[in-house]
Amino acid sequence: MQPIPSFEVVMNAGSGRTKAQARKACVERVLREGGRKVEVRLVRHPRELPQQIAAAIAAAQASGGAVVAAGGDGTINAVVQQVLGSGLLFGALPQGTFNFFGRNHGLSEDIETAARDLLQAQVREVQVGLVNDRVFLINASLGLYRRLLQDRERYKQRLGRARWVALWAGLRTLLGTHRQLNLCMRGPQGEVSEEVLTLVACNNRLQLEGMGLDAAGSVEKGRLLGVRLRPQSRMALFKLALRGLAGRWTDTPDGEAFGFDSLLVTPTSARRATVRVGLDGEVVRMRPPLEFKVSEQRLSLLVPADAGSSGV
């Protein structure tokens, strides 16, 4: 491919293990030394993010450059939401807690290395999940898993963004009291109504393989993988979570994984006109019914030249 003339970087100031200005200076130095134009837009507050993304897209369209997200999976999701369908190339500098998206595609978590990889990158067409009009790259969730994400963010604000904090927050949530969801689901096996603790639509092979799910490869074939947990005791739920963390998931009557192309979900017990949905670590309110599916448009992702051709 032809060298990319410029990079428009949207950087989350709150992500990463080093100071934002140091990360900004590092990216600018590496890309300019590589003979490319670069502008790094440092986002210090979430309300600034949509405007900065729009500015980056406009600049990339004018220059024939690429848009790059520097931050965690939530930041990457927000940028992809606007980039998808624009025809622009997209790059990511993973700087979050788990970095499932970046690690799934061979992107370095070292920001200097990741920036240097952009200079000789190849393009990989990546599958994107949708819930109605919202994108997800890793997973979208209702119920317990969505609540776990909210609780995790509260603990991270108090204790920092280390992985042990996220795991500790998850353990406390699992051992708490869980509200059941009454869902009507229409998918590949027809329409069913049942009570669940959580429903998760997954689009990230790395995360699924880490749990030991044999069907993880389905997300590379134009499908999503659903994980459904039914009501169960705290102890049973805790044991199931341990098996998943150890990479030894097995389907049981209380929890199962299933592949699907499209899944229409209507919460029948919702008291409000909208429901909370977790999208790649962020929680938003959406109006049901919720249709989970694969986007017809794929994301043109910049990956390292030696990353191979496989990917979601």
pLDDT in tens, 33-77: 999 999 999 999 989 999 999 999 999 999 999 999 999 999 999
| 3 and 31 Cβ atoms separated by less than 8 Å | no
DSSP line for 34-94 = TT-EEEEEEE-SGGGHHHHHHHHHHHHHHHT-EEEEEESHHHHHHHHHHHTTS--EEEEEE
Question: Chain centroid to CA 23: how far?
Answer: 22
Give which of 38, 52, 40 is closest to 7, Cα–Cα: 38
What pLDDT shows up at residue 119? 97
To the question of pTM greater than 0.75 for the whole model, the response is: yes
Whether residue 311 is predicted with pLDDT greater than 60 in this model: the reply is no
Q: Percent of the chain having pLDDT more than 90?
A: 64
* Nearest-angstrom CA–CA distance, 4 and 102: 20
Whether residue 157 is predicted with pLDDT greater than 80 in this model: the reply is no
Q: Determine how β-strand 129-131 pairs with β-strand 134-136.
A: antiparallel
Intervals of CATH 3.40.50.10330 along the chain: 6-128+297-303
Whether residue 248 is predicted with pLDDT greater than 80 in this model: the reply is yes
| 102 and 94 Cβ atoms separated by less than 8 Å | yes
3-state SS assignment for residue 31: helix
Largest separation between any pair of C-alpha atoms in the chain: 59
pLDDT in tens, 160-201: 656 655 665 666 676 677 788 999 999 877 888 999 999 999
CATH of 6-128+297-303 given 3.60.140.10, 3.40.50.10330, 3.40.50.720, 3.90.550.10: 3.40.50.10330
DSSP line for 109-147 = SSHHHHHHHHHT-EEEEE--EEETTEEESSEEEEEHHHH
pLDDT in tens, 257-271: 999 999 999 998 767
**pLDDT band at residue 276 using 50, 70 and 90 as cut-offs:** very high
3-state SS assignment for residue 295: coil
Give the pair of three-digit tokens for residue 96.
């979050």
What pLDDT shows up at residue 295? 96
134-294 CATH: 2.60.200.40
pLDDT in tens, 95-137: 988 899 999 999 999 999 999 999 999 999 999 999 999 999 9
What pLDDT shows up at residue 9? 98
274 class by beta-carbon count within 10 Å (0-12 exposed, 13-18 middle, 19+ buried): exposed
Give which of 15, 220, 230, 235 is closest to 109, Cα–Cα: 15
Q: What is the dihedral of CA 33, 38, 44, 47, to 10 degrees?
A: -160
What pLDDT shows up at residue 37? 98
| 94 and 109 Cβ atoms separated by less than 8 Å | yes
Across the chain, mean pLDDT equals 89
Intervals of CATH 2.60.200.40 along the chain: 134-294
